[in-house]
Structure 1
Amino acid sequence: MSARFNAPFTALLAAALFGATTPLAKALLGTLSPFMVAGLFYLGSGVGLAITIFLRRAKLRAHERANKGQLRFRELPWLFGAIATGGVAGPALLMLGLNVTPAATSSLLLNLEGVFTALIAWIVFRENVDRQIFLGMLAIIAGGVALSWHPGSARLPLGALLVAGACACWAIDNNLTRKVSTNDAMVIACLKGLVAGSVNFVIALLLGASLPSATTLAAAMLTGFAGYGISLVLFVLALRNLGTARTGAYFSVAPLFGVTLSLILWPELPPLLFWIAAALMAFGVWLHIRERHEHPHTHDVLDHNHPHHHDEHHQHEHDFQWDGTEPHTHAHRHMPITHTHAHFPDIHHRHSH
C-alpha cells in the first residue's frame, strides 16, 4: 500500500477500533459506573501495551533497544500536557456532563472534538489547510451530526458546556500529542493509559464504586486494550504521517463504525439518517484521500528519532554497525534540502506556506 493511502488507512483503523468500543461497552459493562468504565478501559490500554513493549524489546537489535521510547526532556511538557488534558480533564468533564445532559445532546456535542482539533491545528500550530481538506472536514462533521441527531432532543444546559469542555480538552490533547509523535507510539499510548486509568479508577472508588467480577474486569481491560490502546498507537502513527487536523478528521468517522457494530450486535433496519451520515462521511474521506498537496519547499536542519527508510529525506551515515534492515530506528539528522513532491503536513513537512 502506498504512503498516500497507508496513512489514512491507519487513521481510519484507529477510528474503527475506538468506535467499536462504545457498543462493546454497552454489551459488557452496562452495570458499572462511568468512571469505573473509563478507568478499566485506560488501565487495560496501559497494562496491555506495557506487556507488549516488554515482549517487543526482547526482540530488538541492540541499537534499536537503546533508541526505542527515549523521550527527550524538552518533550515531556507536551506529553504531560496531553495526558492531563486528554486522559484526566477530558474524561472527568465528560462524566460530569453526562450526568446532567441528555444522551442525544451529548452525542451531538461530541462532534466538536474534530472541529476543535482542526481549529487549534490550523490557527495555533499553523498547519496548512486548503479548500478540499476544509470541505472534507465539514462533510465528516456533518455526517457525525446526522448520525447522532434526534429531533426535538437537543438542548444546551450546563452539562452541555461540560461535554463541550471535554471535547476541547481532547482537541488540545491531540495537538500536544503531535509534538511528541516522532517517539515510540506504544510508549506514548502506554503512559497515557496508565496515568489516565489510575486517575479514573481512583475517582470511581472514591465515589463509592466497587470492583466488578473477574470476568467483567478482564472483558473491560481487553476492550480497553484494543479500543483505547491499539487505537491510540495507530492514532499517534497517523499524527506522525498526516498531521493533526487530517488525523482528527479521519478519527471523527469513529461513531459510524460504532453504530455499524451496534446494528450487527442488535440487528435492525438502519434509519435514513444512518445512510445520510455514511454518505457524508464517505464523501469527506474521499476528499481527503484524493488530496495532492505539492509545491517547492525547503527542509531546515532537523534532529529527531523515529522508524524510517532511507528515502530522499533520510540520507545519512550511521554511528553503529547497520545490517541494512529497514525500517530501523535511531537518532538522526536531516540536512537542508529543497525539492518538490506531494506531501502531507507530517513530521518532516511542518513548513509555512
Structure 2
Amino acid sequence: MTQVPSKARLGYLYALGSAVTSGLIPVFSKLLLVNVKPLTISALVFLVGGLILIPYRPKELPGRRSVGWMVATGLLGAALAPALYLYGVNQTSAINAALLTNAEVFFTAVLAFLVFKERLKRKQLLESILVVAGIVVVSTDLDFSSVQLLHGLTGNLLVLGSGIVWALDNNLSRITSQRFGPIFVSKFRNIFGGGLLLGFLVATSASLTVPASVLPLLLLYTADIALATLTFTAALVRIGAVRALLVFSTTSIFGSLFAVAGLGETITLIQVSGGALILLGVYLIHKSEGV
C-alpha cells in the first residue's frame, strides 16, 4: 500500500491543530464582545500575536515584488477580515454566524480552482461533498426554520464578507509562505494588519479601553489566534488551500464542543451525526492521497 507522503501527513496534522484552536475563537469572541469593542479586539490581538514572533528571522527577506503580496495578506487576513467577522458576530445570532462562517471553505475552494489553478482528484471532489454536507448538518441541526437569515441582515453580510476576504487571504498566504515560511508570513501579516487597525483607532480617537478583568482572556485569545494562524498557514504550504480548508472545516465540531463546555449551549444528536460525516469525509480525502 502506498504511504501518504510525510509532508502531506504533517500538513493534515497542522490543519487539524488549527481547527481545534480555531474552535475556541467564537467562544472567546462572544465573551470579549461583552466588554470590548470589535475593532479594539482585532487590533490588539493581531498586533500582539505578531510581536510575539519578532525573534524569528527568515532565511530570505521579501524583495520589492514580494512586499506587495505580503502587505495584501496583512490587509486582508489581519485587518479587514477579522474586523468584519467581529462586527458581524456582534450583530447577528450565533447560529447564523456559524453557518455563514463555514462559507469560507466554499469561497477558498472557488478561488483556488478559478484563480490559483489548484486541482483535486475527482475522487476527492466527491469525498468533499461529505464534508460540506456535514457542515450544513452541524450548523443548522436540519432545523432551517431557525436559520433566520433575514434577522440581523447587516451582521450576516459582514460575517459572509469576512469569509470571502479570508478565502482570498488563504490562497495568498499559501503562495508567500512557500517562499518565506509560515512563521515569517504570520508575523508580518499580524503586525501589519494589527498595526493598521491600531493606527486607525488612534487617528479617529476611538476607545482603546480594555477592562483589567478581561485582560487574561484577551491574552489567551491572542495566543489562540496566533497558534491557529500559524498552524493553518503551515498546512496551506504542505497540502494546498482546498485540502487544508476541508480539514479545517472540522472546527465546527470542536467549536460546538467548546460552546457546550464554555457557554452552556446544547448539542443535538443530529449535529453529532453531522460531525461524523465531516470526519468521514476528511478521513477519505486523507486516505486517497496514497491512491
Using structure 2 for the length normalisation, give the TM-score: 0.84
Superposed CA deviations along residues 30-50 of structure 1, whole A, max 9, x for unmatched, are 321222222222123112222
Letter in 2 for 1:212: V
Cα drift, residue 19 of structure 1: 1.5
Match of 1:137 among 128, 132, 138: 128
Separation in structure 2 between the aligned mates of residue 247 and residue 85 of structure 1, nearest angstrom = 19
Any stretches of 5+ residues in structure 1 without a counterpart? 58-66, 295-353
Higher helix share: 2
Letter in 2 for 1:181: S
Please state whether the residue corresponding to 2:177 is helix, strand or coil. Answer: coil
1:85 counterpart = 2:76: yes
Separation in structure 1 between the aligned mates of residue 124 and residue 286 of structure 2, nearest angstrom = 9
Match of 1:176 in 2: 172
Taking structure 1 as reference, are residues 207 and 274 closer, same or farther at Cα in structure 2, changes over 3 Å only?
A: farther
Please state whether the residue corresponding to 2:70 is helix, strand or coil. Answer: helix
1:238 counterpart = 2:235: yes
Q: Aligned runs of 1:209-248 on 2, under 5 Å?
A: 209-214=207-212, 216-225=214-223, 227-248=224-245
Letter in 2 for 1:33: K
- Aligned CA RMSD, in angstroms, stands at 2.7
Higher strand share: 1
Match of 1:191 among 188, 191, 209: 188
Taking structure 1 as reference, are residues 145 and 11 closer, same or farther at Cα in structure 2, changes over 3 Å only?
A: same
Superposed CA deviations along residues 181-209 of structure 1, whole A, max 9, x for unmatched, are 12132111111111222333455564843
Using structure 1 for the length normalisation, give the TM-score: 0.71
Match of 1:12 in 2: 16
1:74 counterpart = 2:65: yes
Taking structure 1 as reference, are residues 41 and 16 closer, same or farther at Cα in structure 2, changes over 3 Å only?
A: same
Any stretches of 5+ residues in structure 2 without a counterpart? none
Q: Which has the larger radius of gyration?
A: 1
Q: Which has the higher contact order (CA 8 A, sep 6+)?
A: 2
Match of 2:162 among 155, 161, 166: 166
Cα drift, residue 229 of structure 1: 1.2
1:291 counterpart = 2:284: no
1:112 counterpart = 2:93: no
Letter in 1 for 2:18: A
Please state whether the residue corresponding to 1:93 is helix, strand or coil. Answer: helix
Cα drift, residue 92 of structure 1: 3.3
Superposed CA deviations along residues 246-294 of structure 1, whole A, max 9, x for unmatched, are 1121122222212212323356763123202211110121122112367
Taking structure 1 as reference, are residues 23 and 242 closer, same or farther at Cα in structure 2, changes over 3 Å only?
A: same
Q: Does the Cα contact within 8 Å between 1:116 and 1:171 map onto a contact in 2?
A: yes
Cα drift, residue 172 of structure 1: 0.5
Cα drift, residue 222 of structure 1: 3.5
Separation in structure 2 between the aligned mates of residue 89 and residue 167 of structure 1, nearest angstrom = 11
Match of 1:273 among 270, 278, 281: 270
Separation in structure 2 between the aligned mates of residue 288 and residue 230 of structure 1, nearest angstrom = 24
How many residues matched? 280
Cα drift, residue 93 of structure 1: 3.0
Separation in structure 2 between the aligned mates of residue 286 and residue 70 of structure 1, nearest angstrom = 37
Identity of aligned residues (%): 27
Q: Does the Cα contact within 8 Å between 1:43 and 1:221 map onto a contact in 2?
A: no
